[in-house]
Amino acid sequence: MEPARFLFHSYRTFYRFRQWRKRHVTAAGVMVLAAFFISVLFSANMSRSLVYQAAVLFALVLAAAAAGTLIPFRPVLKIRRYLPEYGTAQAELRYEIEIHNRSEKEEKGLVLFEVIQDPRPSFERFISAREPHESRRNAWDRKTLYYRWLWLVRKNAKTAVKPVPLPLLPPGETVRIKMSCFVHCRGYLSFQRICIGRPDVLGLFNRIKLLEQPDKVLVLPQMGPVEPMDLRSARHYHQGGVNLASSVGNSDEFMALRDYRPGDPMRNIHWKSAAKMSQLVTREFEDEHFVRYALILDTFASSDNEDLFEAAVSMAASYVCQLQGPEAILDLLFTGRRVFSFTAGRGLGQVGKMLEVLACVEPSPKDNMQDLMPALHQNIGRISGTICIFLDWDADRKRVHDLFRQAGAGIRIRVVSRDPETMNRQLAADMGETQTVRAAGI
Protein backbone atom coordinates (compact mmCIF):
# COMPACT_ATOMS: atom_id res chain seq x y z
CA MET A 1 0.00 0.00 0.00
CA GLU A 2 1.39 3.40 -0.93
CA PRO A 3 2.27 5.60 2.05
CA ALA A 4 -0.36 8.28 1.39
CA ARG A 5 -3.11 5.71 1.17
CA PHE A 6 -1.90 4.04 4.34
CA LEU A 7 -1.90 7.40 6.12
CA PHE A 8 -5.35 8.19 4.77
CA HIS A 9 -6.83 4.94 6.03
CA SER A 10 -5.05 5.31 9.34
CA TYR A 11 -6.46 8.80 9.84
CA ARG A 12 -9.92 7.64 8.81
CA THR A 13 -9.83 4.77 11.27
CA PHE A 14 -8.37 6.89 14.03
CA TYR A 15 -10.96 9.62 13.45
CA ARG A 16 -13.76 7.10 13.69
CA PHE A 17 -12.30 5.64 16.86
CA ARG A 18 -11.89 9.12 18.30
CA GLN A 19 -15.49 10.00 17.61
CA TRP A 20 -16.58 6.72 19.19
CA ARG A 21 -14.34 7.39 22.17
CA LYS A 22 -15.73 10.89 22.63
CA ARG A 23 -19.25 9.54 22.90
CA HIS A 24 -18.52 6.44 24.93
CA VAL A 25 -15.79 7.59 27.31
CA THR A 26 -16.26 10.60 29.55
CA ALA A 27 -13.48 13.01 30.52
CA ALA A 28 -13.14 11.20 33.83
CA GLY A 29 -12.96 7.91 31.95
CA VAL A 30 -10.12 9.21 29.81
CA MET A 31 -8.32 10.28 32.95
CA VAL A 32 -8.69 6.88 34.61
CA LEU A 33 -7.64 5.10 31.40
CA ALA A 34 -4.54 7.30 31.22
CA ALA A 35 -3.85 6.63 34.89
CA PHE A 36 -4.12 2.90 34.24
CA PHE A 37 -1.71 2.92 31.29
CA ILE A 38 0.82 5.15 33.05
CA SER A 39 0.79 2.98 36.16
CA VAL A 40 1.15 -0.19 34.05
CA LEU A 41 4.21 1.41 32.49
CA PHE A 42 5.92 1.61 35.87
CA SER A 43 4.64 -1.73 37.16
CA ALA A 44 7.08 -4.02 35.38
CA ASN A 45 9.44 -4.24 38.30
CA MET A 46 7.20 -5.23 41.18
CA SER A 47 10.06 -5.64 43.62
CA ARG A 48 11.19 -2.08 42.96
CA SER A 49 7.92 -0.20 43.07
CA LEU A 50 4.34 -0.46 44.31
CA VAL A 51 2.81 1.24 41.31
CA TYR A 52 1.36 -2.09 40.21
CA GLN A 53 -1.10 -1.78 43.10
CA ALA A 54 -2.45 1.42 41.60
CA ALA A 55 -2.60 -0.27 38.19
CA VAL A 56 -4.73 -3.06 39.64
CA LEU A 57 -6.97 -0.52 41.34
CA PHE A 58 -7.48 1.50 38.16
CA ALA A 59 -8.12 -1.67 36.16
CA LEU A 60 -10.84 -2.72 38.59
CA VAL A 61 -12.41 0.75 38.56
CA LEU A 62 -12.51 0.61 34.76
CA ALA A 63 -13.93 -2.91 34.84
CA ALA A 64 -16.66 -1.88 37.29
CA ALA A 65 -17.56 1.12 35.13
CA ALA A 66 -17.55 -0.95 31.95
CA ALA A 67 -19.81 -3.51 33.60
CA GLY A 68 -22.23 -0.69 34.42
CA THR A 69 -22.68 0.10 30.74
CA LEU A 70 -24.05 -3.41 30.15
CA ILE A 71 -27.31 -2.41 31.82
CA PRO A 72 -29.80 -1.78 28.97
CA PHE A 73 -30.77 1.79 28.15
CA ARG A 74 -34.00 2.31 26.24
CA PRO A 75 -35.19 5.89 26.68
CA VAL A 76 -38.53 6.74 25.06
CA LEU A 77 -37.79 10.23 23.82
CA LYS A 78 -39.11 12.31 20.96
CA ILE A 79 -36.57 14.82 19.78
CA ARG A 80 -36.92 17.72 17.40
CA ARG A 81 -34.33 20.21 16.31
CA TYR A 82 -35.31 23.88 15.65
CA LEU A 83 -32.75 25.39 13.32
CA PRO A 84 -32.63 28.97 11.98
CA GLU A 85 -32.93 29.53 8.23
CA TYR A 86 -29.32 30.61 7.89
CA GLY A 87 -26.12 30.61 9.85
CA THR A 88 -23.04 32.66 9.19
CA ALA A 89 -19.49 31.45 8.91
CA GLN A 90 -17.11 32.46 11.70
CA ALA A 91 -20.05 33.16 13.95
CA GLU A 92 -22.03 31.30 16.55
CA LEU A 93 -25.04 29.30 15.44
CA ARG A 94 -27.80 29.19 18.02
CA TYR A 95 -30.68 26.77 17.85
CA GLU A 96 -32.90 24.72 20.09
CA ILE A 97 -33.65 21.07 20.63
CA GLU A 98 -36.98 19.98 21.98
CA ILE A 99 -37.06 16.73 23.94
CA HIS A 100 -40.28 15.08 24.90
CA ASN A 101 -40.08 12.28 27.44
CA ARG A 102 -42.80 9.87 26.38
CA SER A 103 -42.07 7.30 29.07
CA GLU A 104 -43.62 7.11 32.52
CA LYS A 105 -40.37 7.51 34.40
CA GLU A 106 -38.16 10.53 34.72
CA GLU A 107 -34.78 10.66 33.04
CA LYS A 108 -31.88 12.49 34.62
CA GLY A 109 -28.13 12.72 34.28
CA LEU A 110 -28.22 12.16 30.51
CA VAL A 111 -25.88 13.73 28.01
CA LEU A 112 -26.76 14.82 24.49
CA PHE A 113 -24.30 14.53 21.60
CA GLU A 114 -24.86 16.04 18.17
CA VAL A 115 -23.50 13.91 15.32
CA ILE A 116 -22.48 15.86 12.23
CA GLN A 117 -22.50 14.15 8.84
CA ASP A 118 -19.26 12.23 8.32
CA PRO A 119 -16.72 14.93 7.47
CA ARG A 120 -13.93 12.57 6.40
CA PRO A 121 -12.75 13.50 2.90
CA SER A 122 -12.31 11.08 0.03
CA PHE A 123 -8.84 9.85 -0.82
CA GLU A 124 -8.80 11.89 -4.05
CA ARG A 125 -9.69 15.05 -2.15
CA PHE A 126 -7.11 14.21 0.51
CA ILE A 127 -4.41 13.90 -2.12
CA SER A 128 -5.34 16.85 -4.29
CA ALA A 129 -6.20 19.43 -1.62
CA ARG A 130 -3.59 21.75 -0.17
CA GLU A 131 -3.88 23.16 3.29
CA PRO A 132 -3.38 26.94 3.34
CA HIS A 133 0.29 27.66 3.94
CA GLU A 134 1.13 23.99 3.73
CA SER A 135 4.47 24.88 2.20
CA ARG A 136 5.42 26.55 5.50
CA ARG A 137 5.06 23.34 7.43
CA ASN A 138 8.12 21.27 8.19
CA ALA A 139 9.11 18.25 6.12
CA TRP A 140 7.61 15.79 8.58
CA ASP A 141 4.23 17.51 8.59
CA ARG A 142 4.23 17.72 4.82
CA LYS A 143 5.08 14.04 4.61
CA THR A 144 2.53 12.77 7.10
CA LEU A 145 -0.21 15.12 5.82
CA TYR A 146 -1.79 15.12 9.25
CA TYR A 147 -2.47 18.85 9.33
CA ARG A 148 -4.02 18.63 5.88
CA TRP A 149 -6.29 15.91 7.21
CA LEU A 150 -7.27 18.04 10.19
CA TRP A 151 -7.95 21.01 7.96
CA LEU A 152 -10.15 19.01 5.58
CA VAL A 153 -12.12 17.41 8.39
CA ARG A 154 -12.63 20.78 10.03
CA LYS A 155 -13.70 22.32 6.73
CA ASN A 156 -16.16 19.53 5.97
CA ALA A 157 -17.58 19.30 9.47
CA LYS A 158 -17.93 23.10 9.70
CA THR A 159 -18.52 22.89 13.41
CA ALA A 160 -18.08 20.73 16.48
CA VAL A 161 -20.96 20.70 18.91
CA LYS A 162 -19.93 20.07 22.49
CA PRO A 163 -21.91 17.48 24.47
CA VAL A 164 -24.67 19.02 26.54
CA PRO A 165 -25.81 17.61 29.88
CA LEU A 166 -29.57 17.32 29.82
CA PRO A 167 -31.73 18.65 32.63
CA LEU A 168 -34.24 16.52 34.45
CA LEU A 169 -36.80 15.09 32.00
CA PRO A 170 -40.04 14.48 33.91
CA PRO A 171 -42.37 11.82 32.48
CA GLY A 172 -44.65 13.17 29.77
CA GLU A 173 -42.98 16.58 29.81
CA THR A 174 -41.22 18.50 27.08
CA VAL A 175 -37.96 20.33 27.62
CA ARG A 176 -36.25 22.76 25.28
CA ILE A 177 -32.46 22.90 25.25
CA LYS A 178 -30.59 25.88 23.93
CA MET A 179 -27.70 24.80 21.75
CA SER A 180 -24.92 26.80 20.25
CA CYS A 181 -21.87 26.05 18.19
CA PHE A 182 -19.24 28.05 16.42
CA VAL A 183 -19.39 27.53 12.65
CA HIS A 184 -16.08 27.75 10.84
CA CYS A 185 -17.00 27.48 7.17
CA ARG A 186 -19.83 28.34 4.77
CA GLY A 187 -22.01 25.74 3.04
CA TYR A 188 -24.60 23.30 4.23
CA LEU A 189 -24.14 22.18 7.80
CA SER A 190 -25.71 18.74 8.00
CA PHE A 191 -26.74 17.24 11.30
CA GLN A 192 -27.11 13.51 11.02
CA ARG A 193 -28.27 12.15 14.32
CA ILE A 194 -28.54 12.79 18.02
CA CYS A 195 -26.96 10.52 20.61
CA ILE A 196 -28.25 10.29 24.12
CA GLY A 197 -25.59 9.04 26.54
CA ARG A 198 -26.23 7.48 29.91
CA PRO A 199 -23.15 7.43 32.16
CA ASP A 200 -22.42 4.42 34.35
CA VAL A 201 -22.46 4.64 38.15
CA LEU A 202 -18.87 5.86 38.33
CA GLY A 203 -19.32 8.26 35.43
CA LEU A 204 -16.51 6.89 33.28
CA PHE A 205 -18.33 5.37 30.30
CA ASN A 206 -21.56 6.19 28.48
CA ARG A 207 -24.16 3.80 27.16
CA ILE A 208 -25.35 5.38 23.92
CA LYS A 209 -28.77 5.53 22.30
CA LEU A 210 -28.68 6.73 18.68
CA LEU A 211 -31.63 8.68 17.27
CA GLU A 212 -31.70 9.51 13.57
CA GLN A 213 -32.51 13.21 13.24
CA PRO A 214 -31.24 14.54 9.89
CA ASP A 215 -31.40 18.32 9.46
CA LYS A 216 -29.39 20.90 7.67
CA VAL A 217 -28.84 24.60 7.77
CA LEU A 218 -27.19 26.83 5.18
CA VAL A 219 -24.19 28.69 6.50
CA LEU A 220 -23.65 31.94 4.62
CA PRO A 221 -20.19 33.32 3.99
CA GLN A 222 -18.59 35.54 6.55
CA MET A 223 -19.45 39.16 5.91
CA GLY A 224 -17.78 42.29 7.11
CA PRO A 225 -17.39 45.94 6.36
CA VAL A 226 -15.87 46.66 2.95
CA GLU A 227 -14.71 49.93 1.49
CA PRO A 228 -17.48 51.67 -0.45
CA MET A 229 -17.04 51.55 -4.20
CA ASP A 230 -17.98 54.42 -6.42
CA LEU A 231 -18.55 52.72 -9.74
CA ARG A 232 -19.27 56.04 -11.48
CA SER A 233 -21.65 54.19 -13.72
CA ALA A 234 -24.38 55.84 -15.71
CA ARG A 235 -27.95 54.79 -15.50
CA HIS A 236 -29.46 52.97 -18.40
CA TYR A 237 -32.83 51.87 -19.52
CA HIS A 238 -33.35 48.38 -18.25
CA GLN A 239 -36.29 46.16 -18.84
CA GLY A 240 -36.45 45.27 -15.23
CA GLY A 241 -40.01 46.34 -14.81
CA VAL A 242 -41.59 49.14 -12.86
CA ASN A 243 -41.24 47.22 -9.65
CA LEU A 244 -37.47 47.52 -9.92
CA ALA A 245 -37.49 51.04 -11.25
CA SER A 246 -39.75 52.22 -8.47
CA SER A 247 -37.12 51.18 -6.02
CA VAL A 248 -33.89 52.02 -7.70
CA GLY A 249 -34.56 54.07 -10.83
CA ASN A 250 -36.64 57.04 -11.77
CA SER A 251 -40.01 57.37 -13.49
CA ASP A 252 -42.58 59.98 -14.24
CA GLU A 253 -43.87 60.01 -10.72
CA PHE A 254 -41.72 61.92 -8.26
CA MET A 255 -40.22 59.68 -5.66
CA ALA A 256 -37.33 61.37 -3.88
CA LEU A 257 -34.27 63.55 -4.12
CA ARG A 258 -30.83 62.16 -4.56
CA ASP A 259 -27.29 63.15 -5.56
CA TYR A 260 -26.76 63.96 -9.22
CA ARG A 261 -25.04 61.31 -11.30
CA PRO A 262 -23.62 61.80 -14.80
CA GLY A 263 -26.34 61.10 -17.32
CA ASP A 264 -29.19 62.44 -15.24
CA PRO A 265 -31.28 64.94 -17.25
CA MET A 266 -30.68 68.59 -16.39
CA ARG A 267 -34.35 69.30 -16.15
CA ASN A 268 -34.64 66.99 -13.19
CA ILE A 269 -32.13 68.91 -11.11
CA HIS A 270 -33.74 70.31 -8.00
CA TRP A 271 -32.09 73.70 -7.88
CA LYS A 272 -33.36 74.74 -4.50
CA SER A 273 -31.86 71.74 -2.83
CA ALA A 274 -28.73 72.05 -4.91
CA ALA A 275 -28.32 75.60 -3.69
CA LYS A 276 -28.75 74.55 -0.10
CA MET A 277 -26.38 71.58 -0.39
CA SER A 278 -23.82 73.27 -2.62
CA GLN A 279 -23.93 70.26 -4.88
CA LEU A 280 -26.23 69.03 -7.58
CA VAL A 281 -29.32 67.25 -6.37
CA THR A 282 -31.72 65.65 -8.75
CA ARG A 283 -35.29 64.51 -8.51
CA GLU A 284 -36.00 60.83 -8.81
CA PHE A 285 -39.00 59.54 -10.70
CA GLU A 286 -40.48 56.13 -11.14
CA ASP A 287 -39.26 54.78 -14.42
CA GLU A 288 -37.54 51.81 -15.87
CA HIS A 289 -34.24 53.63 -15.83
CA PHE A 290 -31.94 52.39 -13.09
CA VAL A 291 -28.42 51.36 -12.34
CA ARG A 292 -27.76 47.64 -12.53
CA TYR A 293 -24.63 46.21 -11.02
CA ALA A 294 -23.09 42.82 -11.53
CA LEU A 295 -20.65 40.94 -9.41
CA ILE A 296 -17.96 38.75 -10.92
CA LEU A 297 -16.38 36.27 -8.55
CA ASP A 298 -13.21 34.61 -9.69
CA THR A 299 -13.53 30.91 -8.88
CA PHE A 300 -10.53 29.77 -10.84
CA ALA A 301 -8.47 28.96 -7.80
CA SER A 302 -5.87 26.24 -7.62
CA SER A 303 -5.87 23.89 -4.67
CA ASP A 304 -3.07 25.92 -3.09
CA ASN A 305 -5.22 29.03 -2.94
CA GLU A 306 -8.35 27.88 -1.14
CA ASP A 307 -7.80 30.44 1.58
CA LEU A 308 -7.71 33.19 -1.04
CA PHE A 309 -10.88 31.84 -2.54
CA GLU A 310 -12.66 31.84 0.80
CA ALA A 311 -11.56 35.43 1.38
CA ALA A 312 -12.87 36.36 -2.07
CA VAL A 313 -16.23 34.73 -1.37
CA SER A 314 -16.43 36.56 1.92
CA MET A 315 -15.66 39.85 0.20
CA ALA A 316 -18.26 39.14 -2.50
CA ALA A 317 -20.90 38.46 0.15
CA SER A 318 -20.00 41.68 1.89
CA TYR A 319 -20.44 43.66 -1.34
CA VAL A 320 -23.72 41.94 -2.07
CA CYS A 321 -25.03 43.24 1.24
CA GLN A 322 -23.52 46.69 0.88
CA LEU A 323 -24.63 47.47 -2.65
CA GLN A 324 -28.31 46.74 -2.16
CA GLY A 325 -29.76 50.17 -1.72
CA PRO A 326 -32.15 52.67 -3.23
CA GLU A 327 -29.65 53.82 -5.82
CA ALA A 328 -28.72 50.66 -7.62
CA ILE A 329 -29.62 47.05 -8.02
CA LEU A 330 -27.20 44.14 -7.88
CA ASP A 331 -28.85 41.16 -9.44
CA LEU A 332 -26.26 39.52 -11.66
CA LEU A 333 -23.67 37.16 -10.35
CA PHE A 334 -20.97 35.49 -12.38
CA THR A 335 -19.22 32.60 -10.73
CA GLY A 336 -17.23 30.04 -12.61
CA ARG A 337 -18.87 29.57 -16.01
CA ARG A 338 -22.33 30.27 -14.68
CA VAL A 339 -24.43 33.41 -14.60
CA PHE A 340 -27.07 33.87 -11.93
CA SER A 341 -29.74 36.50 -12.56
CA PHE A 342 -32.23 37.39 -9.84
CA THR A 343 -34.60 39.79 -11.60
CA ALA A 344 -37.61 37.53 -11.86
CA GLY A 345 -40.69 38.15 -9.79
CA ARG A 346 -42.04 41.37 -8.33
CA GLY A 347 -39.92 41.60 -5.23
CA LEU A 348 -36.32 42.49 -4.58
CA GLY A 349 -35.44 39.59 -2.38
CA GLN A 350 -32.35 38.69 -4.35
CA VAL A 351 -29.88 39.35 -1.53
CA GLY A 352 -30.72 36.12 0.21
CA LYS A 353 -30.62 34.17 -3.02
CA MET A 354 -27.25 35.60 -3.97
CA LEU A 355 -25.83 34.80 -0.56
CA GLU A 356 -27.14 31.26 -0.91
CA VAL A 357 -25.25 30.94 -4.18
CA LEU A 358 -22.14 32.33 -2.56
CA ALA A 359 -22.55 29.97 0.40
CA CYS A 360 -22.33 26.99 -1.91
CA VAL A 361 -19.89 28.19 -4.55
CA GLU A 362 -16.88 25.94 -4.98
CA PRO A 363 -13.54 26.67 -6.63
CA SER A 364 -13.16 25.40 -10.18
CA PRO A 365 -9.44 24.86 -10.63
CA LYS A 366 -9.82 23.18 -14.03
CA ASP A 367 -11.43 26.23 -15.68
CA ASN A 368 -9.98 29.66 -16.38
CA MET A 369 -11.13 33.20 -17.01
CA GLN A 370 -11.47 32.59 -20.75
CA ASP A 371 -14.42 30.33 -20.03
CA LEU A 372 -16.30 33.23 -18.49
CA MET A 373 -15.84 35.64 -21.41
CA PRO A 374 -18.77 34.40 -23.56
CA ALA A 375 -21.18 34.94 -20.68
CA LEU A 376 -19.80 38.44 -20.10
CA HIS A 377 -20.13 39.37 -23.77
CA GLN A 378 -23.68 38.16 -23.76
CA ASN A 379 -24.71 40.14 -20.69
CA ILE A 380 -22.63 43.27 -20.88
CA GLY A 381 -25.46 45.29 -22.38
CA ARG A 382 -27.51 44.79 -19.25
CA ILE A 383 -24.84 46.02 -16.88
CA SER A 384 -24.25 49.57 -15.70
CA GLY A 385 -21.29 48.68 -13.56
CA THR A 386 -19.54 45.69 -12.15
CA ILE A 387 -17.43 44.65 -9.24
CA CYS A 388 -14.83 41.99 -9.94
CA ILE A 389 -13.20 40.04 -7.18
CA PHE A 390 -10.18 38.30 -8.61
CA LEU A 391 -7.74 35.85 -7.11
CA ASP A 392 -4.87 36.87 -9.33
CA TRP A 393 -3.94 39.38 -12.00
CA ASP A 394 -2.99 38.26 -15.49
CA ALA A 395 -3.77 38.95 -19.16
CA ASP A 396 -7.11 37.12 -19.08
CA ARG A 397 -8.31 39.14 -16.15
CA LYS A 398 -7.09 42.34 -17.70
CA ARG A 399 -9.21 41.48 -20.72
CA VAL A 400 -12.30 41.57 -18.49
CA HIS A 401 -11.30 45.03 -17.35
CA ASP A 402 -10.85 46.19 -20.94
CA LEU A 403 -14.18 44.72 -21.98
CA PHE A 404 -16.10 46.78 -19.44
CA ARG A 405 -14.08 49.89 -20.15
CA GLN A 406 -14.82 49.62 -23.86
CA ALA A 407 -18.51 49.09 -23.12
CA GLY A 408 -18.55 52.26 -21.02
CA ALA A 409 -19.65 50.42 -17.92
CA GLY A 410 -18.16 51.20 -14.57
CA ILE A 411 -15.80 48.60 -13.14
CA ARG A 412 -13.96 48.15 -9.92
CA ILE A 413 -11.57 45.25 -9.45
CA ARG A 414 -10.26 43.93 -6.18
CA VAL A 415 -7.51 41.34 -6.35
CA VAL A 416 -7.40 39.24 -3.20
CA SER A 417 -3.82 38.57 -2.28
CA ARG A 418 -1.78 37.30 0.66
CA ASP A 419 0.63 40.14 0.04
CA PRO A 420 -1.47 43.13 -0.99
CA GLU A 421 1.46 45.57 -1.05
CA THR A 422 3.38 43.55 -3.60
CA MET A 423 0.24 42.99 -5.60
CA ASN A 424 -0.50 46.72 -5.58
CA ARG A 425 2.99 47.41 -6.91
CA GLN A 426 2.41 44.83 -9.64
CA LEU A 427 -0.96 46.37 -10.51
CA ALA A 428 0.50 49.87 -10.56
CA ALA A 429 3.21 48.72 -12.93
CA ASP A 430 0.61 47.17 -15.20
CA MET A 431 -2.27 49.65 -15.00
CA GLY A 432 -0.73 52.81 -13.63
CA GLU A 433 -1.88 54.57 -10.48
CA THR A 434 -5.63 53.95 -10.48
CA GLN A 435 -8.38 53.26 -8.01
CA THR A 436 -10.06 50.91 -10.43
CA VAL A 437 -7.82 47.94 -9.76
CA ARG A 438 -6.46 47.43 -6.29
CA ALA A 439 -5.29 44.60 -4.13
CA ALA A 440 -7.03 43.47 -0.98
CA GLY A 441 -5.58 41.41 1.86
CA ILE A 442 -7.09 38.25 3.28
Partner 1 sequence: MKPLFLYAPSALIFWGWQMDAVWIAVPLAALLFYSYKTRFKFDFKVSDVNRFVDVSTIFLAGAIVYALTVDAQNAIWFLLRWVPLIFYPIIAVQYFSTAGTIDVQSFFLTARKTAAGYTMETQRIDVTYVYVLLCIISTGSDPDTGAAFFAAAALFSAWGLWQARSRRVHQGVWVMVVVLTLVAGTAGHKAVYLIGRKLNRWMFMQYRGMMGNDPFSSHTSIGDIGQLKLSGTIVMRAAFDEYKKGQTYLLYNGVYSHLYKNNWYAGQQFRPVSPAGGGQGWQINPESHLSHKAKIYSRPTRKKAVLSLPAGTTAISGFDADICQKNAFQVVRFEHPPPLIAADVNFTGQPLHDSAPESKDLSVPKQEAALIASVGNRLALNDKSPGQVIDTVTHYFTKEFSYSLELKGRGAYPTALHNFLLNTRQGHCELFATATVLLLRQAGLPARYVTGFLAHEYSPFEKRVLIRQRDAHAWVRVYIDGRWQELDTTPAGFTALDAQWVSGGAIRDILSYIGFSLSRIRHETGKDFIDQYGLLLIVPLAVILLMRLRKAGQVRKVTDKAGQSRKKPVETEPVSFYLLESVLAQKGYPRQKHETFSSWLKRVRPVLGGQGAHRQLAALLRIHNRIVFGKSRSVSADSQVLYPAIQEWVQRLKTEK
Residue 109 near partner 1 by CB under 8 A: yes
Residue from 28, 79, 175, 431 in contact with partner 1 (CB under 8 A): 28
Residue 51 near partner 1 by CB under 8 A: yes
Residue 35 near partner 1 by CB under 8 A: yes
Residue type, 353: K
Residue 256 near partner 1 by CB under 8 A: no
Least distance in angstroms from the C-beta of 189 to partner 1: 16
Least distance in angstroms from the C-beta of 363 to partner 1: 16
Which x/- pattern over 62-101 shows residues binding partner 1 (rule: CB under 8 A)?
--x---x---------------------------------
Contact residues for 209 (Cβ-Cβ < 8 A; gap 6+): 73, 74, 75, 195, 196, 197, 198
**Closest by CA position to 318, among listed 348, 349, 355:** 355
Residue 133 near partner 1 by CB under 8 A: yes
Going by their DSSP bridges, the two strands 236-237 and 289-290 should be labelled as antiparallel
* Stretch binding partner 1 (CB under 8 A), from 17-25, 41-49, 232-240, 291-299: 41-49
Residue 208 near partner 1 by CB under 8 A: no
332 near 376, Cβ under 8 Å?
Answer: no
Residue 128 near partner 1 by CB under 8 A: no
Residue 164 near partner 1 by CB under 8 A: no
Residue 439 Ramachandran class (φ > 0 left, ψ -120 to 50 alpha, else beta) = beta
Least distance in angstroms from the C-beta of 137 to partner 1: 7
Cross-strand pairs, 411: 386
Rg, the chain, Cα only: 29
Least distance in angstroms from the C-beta of 113 to partner 1: 16
Residue 286 Ramachandran class (φ > 0 left, ψ -120 to 50 alpha, else beta) = beta
Contact residues for 113 (Cβ-Cβ < 8 A; gap 6+): 22, 23, 161, 163, 194, 195, 196, 197, 208
| Cβ proximity to partner 1, 59 vs 177, nearer residue | 59
Residue 57 near partner 1 by CB under 8 A: yes
Residue 278, number of CB atoms within 10 A of its CB? 7
| Cβ proximity to partner 1, 150 vs 256, nearer residue | 150
Which x/- pattern over 170-199 shows residues binding partner 1 (rule: CB under 8 A)?
----------------------------xx
Least distance in angstroms from the C-beta of 99 to partner 1: 16
Cross-strand pairs, 134: none
Least distance in angstroms from the C-beta of 126 to partner 1: 17
DSSP code string of 144-156: H-HHHHHHHHHHH
Residues within window 272-311 making contact with partner 1, judged by CB under 8 A: 307
Residue from 82, 128, 173, 201 in contact with partner 1 (CB under 8 A): 201
| Cβ proximity to partner 1, 101 vs 384, nearer residue | 101
Handedness of CA 155, 157, 161, 162 (dihedral sign): negative
Residue 6, number of CB atoms within 10 A of its CB? 10
For the chain, the first-to-last Cα distance in angstroms comes to 39
Residue 39 near partner 1 by CB under 8 A: yes
Residue from 3, 16, 50, 276 in contact with partner 1 (CB under 8 A): 50
| Cβ proximity to partner 1, 27 vs 76, nearer residue | 27
Residue 203 near partner 1 by CB under 8 A: yes
Largest CA distance in the chain: 106
Contact residues for 41 (Cβ-Cβ < 8 A; gap 6+): none
Residue 114 near partner 1 by CB under 8 A: no
Residue 131 near partner 1 by CB under 8 A: yes
Residue 442 near partner 1 by CB under 8 A: yes
Instruction: Give burial (CB, 10 Å; 0-12/13-18/19+) of 293.
Output: buried
Binding site for partner 1 (CB under 8 A): 26-28, 31-32, 34-35, 38-39, 42, 46-61, 64, 68, 108-110, 131-134, 136-137, 147, 150-151, 160, 198-204, 307, 442
